[in-house]
């Protein structure tokens, strides 16, 4: 129970902030009038306003990180209180919009559209004196993926370009190589094979096996809910891939439908092992965003706790839930909302969203989604063995 005086202090602080913002807005209107008239004092005040806006942007960017880092009960109450009391001024809103357009905001939630990459490669362009670009395969918060011909391996590969990493941190290449080296130890039919790491013009890239197919996210989007027989096959193969990775001490950390490729013959390939950790090491996750995708993140990951293979099994439980019901177990309008639900609420049983679903599926999914790691499946193999047969 949070003491009343703490809430009173929070409420008073937010109300005072809002009053100051209103006064500031009035003053800004006067400054705008003076600026247009060429008044030197007003021009100086306008310059000071720009500094204020930049400071405000920083505060707004860090707000979600602060809220996600403290007690979740307090978070929920502060979040509800703040949502009724805080309104950003027009200038800050426009500034944040410009940042999003420039790629300053990353898509940590499925509702947010990732910014287009600031760096792009054209068909026929060479990269690293070895790769010839064919076409763009997609882009996201960390960079873009291209189909390319590897003249050394004489085969087509997928190139994942990590935009700006080498420029931001000279040690980024070494760190990425270490993560890629760990992922390369995974040799399994259900895990995309990592080839090499390279650097060109300040951009690090990862070359990997190219797999024809579509992501599980695309399949779910197209069909809403998937046939149980298909889901069983996909989850079984994902378990096998995870078991191979965990045996090598590698945790995925960002398992989700978008990171599972389904080939034309319905085989599964898991992609991006270890890259979530690289993004965190390099500070590439957008400010205020948690490492991973909130809809599929385990509570210990949201709270910054110790991770192990069972963290991936939670994500697989959330993925399975999504595939059989058409929605993730927890949703929300913001990453904070999803994260709070993920850490504090119990999921609705899948059968409540898909009438006629066998109780065994409820048991399977809800076991994987237990808040405490020790209450989940112990290993990926144990999870595979528990898959419902009917």
In angstroms, what is the C-alpha Rg of the chain? 24
Residues 78-94: pLDDT tens digits? Answer: 444 444 333 434 444 44
Q: Is the pLDDT of residue 151 over 80?
A: yes
DSSP letter, residue 116: P
The better pLDDT of the pair 267, 102 is held by 267
Q: How confident is the model at residue 183 (pLDDT cuts 50, 70, 90)?
A: confident
Please name the residue that has the structure tokens 């890259």: 275
Mean pLDDT of 167-189: 76
CB distance 199 to 159 below 8 Å: no
Instruction: Copy the structure tokens of residue 217.
Output: 């996210």
Q: How confident is the model at residue 119 (pLDDT cuts 50, 70, 90)?
A: low
Q: Is the pLDDT of residue 57 over 60?
A: no
Range name among 42-46, 108-112, 125-129, 248-252 with the lowest pLDDT average: 108-112
CA distance linking residue 316 with residue 333, whole number of Å: 22
Q: How confident is the model at residue 138 (pLDDT cuts 50, 70, 90)?
A: confident
3 state DSSP class of 295: helix
3 state DSSP class of 86: coil
DSSP letter, residue 157: E
CB distance 124 to 132 below 8 Å: yes
254 noted as active-site residue:
yes
Alpha helix stretches (DSSP H) within the chain: 4-36, 40-69, 72-85, 90-101, 165-168, 172-184, 216-223, 228-247, 275-281, 299-302, 309-325, 335-344, 350-353, 359-368, 380-385
Q: Which of 260, 254, 367 is nearest to 315 (CA)?
A: 254
Mean pLDDT of 126-138: 92
Residue 114 is predicted with a pLDDT of 45
Residue 279 is predicted with a pLDDT of 44
Residues 6+ apart with CB under 8 A from 33: 42
CB distance 354 to 384 below 8 Å: no
Residue 232 is predicted with a pLDDT of 98
Residue 54 is predicted with a pLDDT of 56
pTM of the model: 0.68
DSSP letter, residue 294: G
- Counting every residue written for the chain, the total comes to 390
- 224 Rama class: left (phi>0) / alpha (psi -120 to 50) / beta: left
CB distance 186 to 179 below 8 Å: no
DSSP state letters, 188-250: -TTBPPEEEEEEETTEEEEEEE---SEEHHHHHHHHSS--HHHHHHHHHHHHHHHHHHHHTT-
Residues 224-273: pLDDT tens digits? Answer: 899 999 999 999 999 999 999 999 999 999 999 999 999 999 999 999 88
Instruction: Copy the structure tokens of residue 349.
Output: 């049983």
Q: Is the pLDDT of residue 207 over 80?
A: yes
Q: Which domains does the chain carry?
A: 4-101 (no CATH), 126-209 (3.30.200.20), 214-385 (1.10.510.10)
Residue 382 is predicted with a pLDDT of 98
Residues 330-381: pLDDT tens digits? Answer: 999 898 999 999 999 999 999 999 999 999 999 999 999 999 999 999 999 9
Q: Provide the mean pLDDT of the chain.
A: 77
Q: Which of 164, 157, 161, 168 is nearest to 139 (CA)?
A: 161
Please name the residue that has the structure tokens 């898509």: 107
**Residue ranges of the binding site for ATP:** 160
Residues 6+ apart with CB under 8 A from 61: 287, 288
Residue 85 is predicted with a pLDDT of 38
Question: How crowded is the C-beta side of 145, counted as CA atoms within 13 Å?
Answer: 16
Sign of torsion over alpha carbons 357, 361, 367, 370: negative
- Indicate which residue of 254, 272, 312, 362 is catalytic: 254
């Amino acid at each position: 129970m949070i003491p009343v005086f703490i809430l009173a202090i929070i409420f008073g602080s937010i109300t005072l902030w809002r009053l100051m913002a209103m006064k500031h807005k009035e003053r800004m209107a006067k400054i705008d009038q003076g600026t247009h008239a060429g008044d030197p004092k007003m021009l100086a005040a306008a310059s000071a306003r720009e500094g204020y806006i930049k400071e405000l942007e920083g505060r707004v960017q860090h707000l979600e990180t602060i809220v996600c880092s403290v007690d979740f009960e307090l978070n929920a109450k502060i979040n509800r209180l703040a949502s009724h009391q805080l309104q950003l001024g027009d200038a800050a809103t426009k500034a944040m919009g410009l940042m999003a357009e420039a790629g300053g905001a990353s898509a940590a939630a499925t509702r947010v559209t990732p910014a287009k990459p600031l760096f792009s490669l054209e068909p026929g362009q060479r990269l690293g004196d070895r790769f010839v670009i064919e076409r763009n395969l997609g882009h996201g918060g960390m960079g873009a993926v291209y189909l390319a011909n590897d003249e050394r391996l004489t085969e087509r590969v997928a190139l994942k370009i990590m935009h700006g990493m080498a420029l931001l941190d000279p040690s980024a290449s070494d760190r990425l190589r270490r993560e890629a080296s760990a992922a390369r130890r995974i040799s399994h039919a259900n895990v995309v094979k990592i080839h090499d790491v390279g650097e060109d013009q300040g951009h690090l890239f990862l070359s990997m096996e190219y797999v024809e197919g579509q992501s599980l996210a695309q399949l779910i989007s197209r069909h809403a809910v998937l046939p149980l027989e298909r889901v069983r096959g996909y989850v079984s193969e994902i378990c096998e891939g995870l078991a191979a990775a965990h045996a090598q001490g590698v945790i995925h950390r960002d398992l989700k439908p978008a990171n599972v490729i389904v080939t034309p013959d319905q085989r599964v390939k898991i992609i991006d092992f270890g890259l979530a950790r690289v993004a965190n090491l390099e500070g590439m996750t957008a400010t205020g965003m948690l490492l991973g995708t909130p809809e599929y993140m385990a509570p210990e990951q949201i709270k910054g706790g110790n991770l192990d293979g069972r963290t991936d099994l939670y994500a697989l439980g959330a993925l399975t839930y999504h595939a059989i019901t058409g929605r993730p177990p927890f949703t929300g309008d913001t990453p904070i909302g999803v994260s709070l639900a993920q850490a504090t609420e119990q999921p609705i049983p899948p059968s409540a969203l898909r009438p006629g679903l066998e109780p065994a599926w409820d048991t399977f999914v809800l076991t994987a989604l237990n808040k405490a790691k020790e209450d989940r499946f112990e290993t990926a193999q144990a999870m595979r063995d528990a898959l419902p047969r009917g």
